[in-house]
Amino acid sequence: MGTPRLVIGFLLLVVCCLFTRGPATNNKKAITNPRFNMSTEAERKIQKQVFGRTTDGTPVDLYTLTNAHGLEAKVMTYGGIVLSLNVPDRTGKFDDVVLGFDRLDEYLKNASYFGALIGRYANRIAKGKFALDGREYRLAQNDGENHLHGGVKGFHRVVWRAQIVRGKNGAGLNLTYLSKDGEEGYPGNLFVSVTYTLTTTDELRIDYSATTDKATIVNLTHHSYFNLAGAGAGDILAHEVTINADRFTPVDKTLIPTGEQRNVKRTPMDFTQPTAIGARIGEQDEQLLVGKGYDHNWVLNKSGASLSFAARVYEPRSGRVMDVHTTEPGLQFYSGNFLDGSIRGKQGKVYYLRYGFCLEAQHFPDSPNKMNFPSVVLHTGRKYTQTTIYKFSTR
Ligand code: GLA
């Protein structure tokens, strides 16, 4: 008697699943209802495997996302790290364009933030302190006297909960993490959700959101080191960069912004026209000297928090192009100045000085202490959101 019911139930479920596939407008439903979020389409395009365990024994999984054009991203639950990103060159040959390691234990030891999700506060906070609602908060001083990338563990050394979802235009991996009140010195229980989608239009799309139960500060970003000629293939000096910004935030010798928003005109910071990273990086410019190269925040030309064009990178040998769009007001362009040949990455390849670059969409560094910078305060009942898209093509 139970068997026909079971069969009918199963058929109903299959029909339901068929009708709920399709437009991205179903996305909300897909995320909230576990029965629907593993669409057969998403299941086919995302594969899960066990990757290892952290030192305290927490299991870490690795997910492989692929799209219809064969692009492939591997993301793990530890640090929400993108381990590899395979995209074609102009002849159709695929290469992995992000720096990283083959094994989990190498990630556990390394401090370079390769491919990681960064929070609660990406970039630096001067002297590791800030005030909010009349109270002073103290954070880890893990970069000289300053606080960097959320602290010692931040979000890059924690294990996220993963769920396969139907993201915007493709199969997505949703990662969530509850950062407890007081963790790394920050106030409020912060619930963070990040979805990586490898879209049908060859984008790695990252949608972030966060809510809190006490006023706090939030500034999330993604920290892939790109090399569009292939990870470990050489330095990034020939890559041509365009940044949609007329101003940048100059820094002091500890890389904390002075508060000024300076025009890029007639400085080596002018990337308003496509310019090779190496064209001016060796100039005796005061800002390049303190940064040991590019390690600065650009003030993107935009008004409001719309998703808009931030940067383009073109690698002449492979013909690969990467476009960055973001809802964020700033973009940290870091030219891999701390890479020094001491790291042996994937397939044993050594990462020397400037073998990778980062484009970290974010709020400006040290915003909690700079009243003239856009606010990074998140209040209760409000939702932090940010979207950044890295889109790949060739020419
Ligand atoms: C960011 C910082 C750099 C450096 C890297 C990681 O880009 O701005 O100074 O800390 O992260 O090494």
Q: Got the DSSP string for 166-225?
A: EETTEEEEEEEEEE-TTGGG--S-EEEEEEEEE-TTSEEEEEEEEEESS-EE-B-EEEPP
Which comes out higher in pLDDT, residue 379 or 40?
Answer: 379
Average of per-residue pLDDT across 143-170: 94
Are the beta carbons of 47 and 67 closer than 8 angstroms?
no
| Confidence class for position 170, pLDDT limits 50, 70, 90 | confident
Would you say the CB of residue 112 lies under 6 angstroms from ligand 1?
A: yes
What pTM was computed for the model? 0.89
The reply to whether 360 belongs to the active site is: yes
Separation of alpha carbons 120 and 361, rounded Å:
14
| Residue 40 pLDDT | 54
Predicted local distance difference test score (pLDDT) of residue 268: 98
Residue 139 or 6, more confident: 139
Beta carbon of 295 within 6 Å of any ligand 1 atom: yes
* 326, β-bridge pairs: 308, 388
- State the Cα angle at 368 between 158 and 152, rounded to 5°: 25
Q: Whole-number mean pLDDT of the chain?
A: 91
Show the CA angle centred on residue 90, arms to residues 92 and 200, nearest 5°.
65
pLDDT of residue 34: 38
pLDDT greater than 70 at residue 282: yes
Instruction: Compute, in angstroms, the gap from residue 334 CA to the centroid of ligand 1.
Output: 7
Contacts of 366 (CB under 8 A, 6+ apart): 123, 124, 125, 126, 256, 257, 373
The answer to whether residue 43 scores a pLDDT higher than 70 is no
Distance CA 29, CA 20 (A): 9
Output the pLDDT for position 41: 60
Task: Supply 297's token pair.
Answer: 């925040």
- Looking at 3-17, 66-80, 360-374, 375-389, which range is the least confident one? 3-17
User: Quick check: CB of 297 below 6 Å from ligand 1?
Assistant: no
Give the pLDDT confidence of 208-231 residue by residue, as tens digits: 999 999 999 999 999 999 999 999
Helices (H), the chain: 2-20, 27-32, 34-37, 40-45, 104-109, 286-291
- Catalytic residue, chosen from 183, 315, 328, 360, is 360
Mean pLDDT value of segment 290-307: 96
Catalytic residue among 156, 223, 325, 363: 223
Q: Are 75 and 60 in contact (CB under 8 A)?
A: no
Is the CB–ligand 1 distance for residue 334 below 6 Å?
A: yes
332 CB less than 6 Å from ligand 1? yes
For residue 149, pLDDT over 80 is answered with: yes
Find out whether 181 and 187 touch, Cβ atoms under 8 Å. Answer: yes
pLDDT greater than 70 at residue 353? yes
Active site includes 223?
A: yes
Ligand 1: distance of its center to the CA of 90 in Å? Answer: 31
Q: How far does the centroid of ligand 1 lie from the alpha carbon of residue 291, in Å?
A: 10
